[in-house]
Chains A and B, each alone.
Chain A
């Protein structure tokens, strides 16, 4: 509660990041010792985050074996976009760009807090402020993590980790914003210029010869819409849990006020504590569940979009190849420019074959990755739910026994303290 001040810059160090920190999407990355990347700390000012990107490498392509650079979110986006727009990588699934840090939730809460300050009790205000700080911290940690995962996905990809721009991103110790502006002019966004909204139509319209891609196409299109729906519904659940936690705060602070239950003294303490503890658990559930389930779904939703993009590129390449065939036929008919047409057709075929080959590899490993990630996260989520439910039920059992059995205020206090420890 000491560090939170919206206006003041906030430093988040490695200890903070790892303290009671549940990794949302557990992906087995950062295993290759030749290139290890992490984000050990970050600075948060208002809603602008400055990440410290730390690299440890044994590769000779880098100038130093260990170094750190400051980066902003926009730098990550620049890196992602340059990768997407590199034709050589058309056959790869480019890891999805990390989403922009979203402090909308805490900001909204802060407004509510400011407006409601007059009507709230002191305890309630304090509690809500603590909740706000916790939420702010959670958003902060989450954004650091998704940015870290993005980089680690790149570093563990055999082709992408050799990208020149990736190296610049990791190493260049000056501000990247100049490069960012230049890049926009250079590339012209060939991929982005294409009409993205037609991609599903294009993909599904392709006459697929290859069974593998036929299945993948059907699967990914369907899966994407389903997982998008699940993500949205999971987010709603999380919000409900948060609302309930807020209600418990309000209830416990009201019950706390001595004027209510003057005579009901120890029972009232106990009941208050039970609500406080319930609130803490409920709040934890909300954040844990959000991390495990919601973030998992969200992450793979974006990843599947990236896989779809690959299919799209391949579909375009196929369309190009078919067009080149038609052009060749036409040329043969007219007996004009046949060699150029033949060469063009060969190029298109090669490009298409290359895309298909690399695409197959990518999609297969993607599936494996997805299954592993789901397994790990579902297990962790179930274990957390069990843990929370056990804590909640033991708390309740204690309170019940307690209310029924003793008159001792000191016992009340002692038990309450112990139970609150457990959360």
Chain B
């Protein structure tokens, strides 16, 4: 692949330079694997931009500090960079953007709608041969089934698709949370050990569910159900976006069949659950003891990359959670101020001023509501996305671990083979000729078996390595798309908040001016 082209030196300075062979937004081409293409393919059109290529180095300061600081300093309008912008040159393929009406009232739960509206541009770029990826899953209508501690939430899973894989174009089923966990468990057992990145299912929450079961119809339990519903939806979409997983019979059954055998082994406190925990612990110990001779720099680099990504995403996630919290606080403080301002307005004896103060109180109250909605957007778009990716990265790291295990297995077989060969050699010096032939035949059989095992091990290792390369490529691409579309949606919510704020303040202004 593009090993040779990857320049490790770019780690520190290459912030703004693409790695050779890595295309941000790939050209229309077959398959999801990264194309080996030079930097020239970065832009789809203009040549003059390439002519500006050497200028790139000066435009982009290598020193991150400068970049950051520069951005916050005031730049004169006469800067040469701006001329580049204004010179008539490239007219990038602009999808005429009218704010998608589906987003004007951001319905958090329908984030997936917009993922497709926005990625339509990307879809044009990506023309997979054959059945183009067109499937749309939504999770909706949470309903409580049963009572007391045996109660559970059932969700409606609706699939809309034009793919020939499915019998119908639109269909829905009812599923409960443990069904989702069961699906994940089956997929993990089938695909993880051969190197496929299986999206993790949403996490269990005993506290959350207990509240729901007990029947508290309050704000926090509603929020919990909505959070879970949204997470389940994202989980399914990620799963079917995987070309291999999509075709898996368990997945198809999950989406299509009206009745699903109950997945019992997913219960947290079951024996199966305990077994899983034990296995996880064992794996962790094993990981520490496996010392793999990494001959492939790509894997070493990627593993490091994902380690870093993990750390950074967790930090980012924590910061976004802090933002959500502070925005909720702001909303509360605004509401409380609004009430206080209203009382002040009542107390004011100058009529016009009194009215203006009451209006101010109303504006602040409306804005407080906006801030609350914005906090939700912060949460659902950013925080949950980051949380999902923290879990996904864990799955990716798991896949790398599987490769190590595979390697270990191969090495173990090789060692066994070595031992048997040594034993065979030693047999020569065995002095019992009658038993010798029998022993020789036995060992020969064992050696043959082991040789096959070693070969299989090697093949498995090569196969998993190959699969992982593809998977990582696919994962990274998906990540870009995912972040991009989510960021767009998030910015759109911010935009909407701002525009509403403008309306409210503009309505207030004449009231303030009317004071005399």
User: What is the interface of chain A, defined by CB distance below 8 A to chain B?
Assistant: 122-123, 126-127, 215, 219, 222-223, 226-227, 229-230, 233-234, 236-237, 239-241, 243-244, 247-248, 250-251, 253-267, 269, 271, 273-274, 276, 278, 280, 367, 371, 374-375, 378-379, 382-383, 385-386, 389-390, 392-393, 396-397, 399-401, 403-411, 413-418, 420-421
Contact = CB atoms under 8 A, between A and B. Distances in A.
Given A382-B505, A386-B502, 5 more contacts: A236-B333, A243-B329, A244-B327, A274-B491, A393-B498
26 contacts: A127-B68, A219-B349, A230-B340, A230-B341, A233-B340, A237-B337, A240-B330, A247-B322, A253-B68, A254-B316, A257-B64, A258-B64, A260-B316, A386-B506, A392-B498, A404-B488, A407-B25, A407-B42, A408-B49, A409-B16, A409-B42, A410-B49, A410-B84, A411-B84, A414-B85, A421-B77
B3 interface: no
Nearest to A236: B333
Contact of A271 (B16, B121, B322, B487): B487
Contacts of A222: 347
Contacts of A280: 72
Interface string B453-488: 000000000000000000000001001100110011
Contacts of A259: 305, 308-309, 312
A48 to B, nearest CB: 31
B473 to A, nearest CB: 10
A177 to B, nearest CB: 40
B44 to A, nearest CB: 7
Contact of A240 (B16, B308, B329): B329
**4 pairs of A and B residues whose beta carbons are closest in the complex:** A393-B498, A240-B330, A233-B337, A414-B85
Contact of A251 (B319, B357, B506): B319
A253 to B, nearest CB: 8
Nearest to B307: A259
B36 to A, nearest CB: 16
Interface string B398-428: 0000000000000000000000000000000
B316 A421 contact: no
Interface in B75-118: 75, 77, 79, 81-82, 84-85, 90, 92-95, 97, 118
Given A230-B337, A237-B330, A408-B90, A403 B484 contact: yes
B427 to A, nearest CB: 56
B326 interface: yes
A240 B333 contact: yes
A385 B483 contact: no
B488 A403 contact: yes
B74 interface: yes
A264 B483 contact: yes
Contact of A236 (B56, B97, B336): B336
A255 B480 CA distance: 14
A382 B85 contact: no
Nearest to B322: A247
A405 B326 contact: no
Interface in B289-317: 305, 308-309, 312-313, 315-316
Contacts of A241: 330
B60 interface: yes
A159 B375 CA distance: 54
Interface residues of B, number: 94
A371 B75 contact: no
Contacts of B509: 379, 382-383, 386
Nearest to A232: B340
B256 interface: no
A392 B494 contact: yes
A236 B337 contact: yes
Contacts of A264: 479-480, 483-484
B508 interface: yes
Contacts of B495: 393, 396-397, 400
A262 B8 CA distance: 13
A408 B512 contact: no
Task: Specify which of A227, A237, A241, A269 lies most central, judged by the most chain B CB atoms within 10 Å of its CB.
Answer: A237
B487 A405 contact: no
A226 B505 contact: no
Interface string B1-37: 0000000000000111010001011000000000000
A280 B69 CA distance: 13
A123 B68 contact: yes
Contacts of B85: 410-411, 414-415, 418
Contacts of A255: 316
A410 B81 contact: yes
A378 B476 CA distance: 50
B337 A404 contact: no
B231 interface: no
B18 to A, nearest CB: 7
A79 B70 CA distance: 47
Contacts of A123: 64-65, 68
Contacts of A236: 333, 336-337
A254 B312 contact: yes
B121 A404 contact: yes
Contact of A233 (B60, B68, B336): B336
Given A219-B349, A417-B79, A227 B512 contact: no
B484 A267 contact: yes
A228 to B, nearest CB: 10
Nearest to B103: A400
A385 B323 CA distance: 21
Nearest to A418: B82
B65 to A, nearest CB: 7
B52 interface: yes
Task: Specify which of B72, B81, B312 lies most central, judged by the most chain A CB atoms within 10 Å of its CB.
Answer: B72
Given A254-B316, A371-B353, A400 B491 contact: yes
Contacts of A415: 85
Contact of B75 (A233, A261, A421): A421
B373 to A, nearest CB: 15
B506 A248 contact: no
Nearest to B329: A240
B502 to A, nearest CB: 4
Nearest to B13: A258
A417 B81 contact: yes
A261 B15 CA distance: 9
B323 A244 contact: yes
Given A400-B492, A404-B488, A265 B24 contact: yes
Contacts of A250: 319, 322
A142 B131 CA distance: 67
Contacts of B484: 264, 267, 403
B84 A254 contact: no
B340 A226 contact: yes
B394 interface: no
Given A229-B343, A241-B330, A263 B43 contact: no
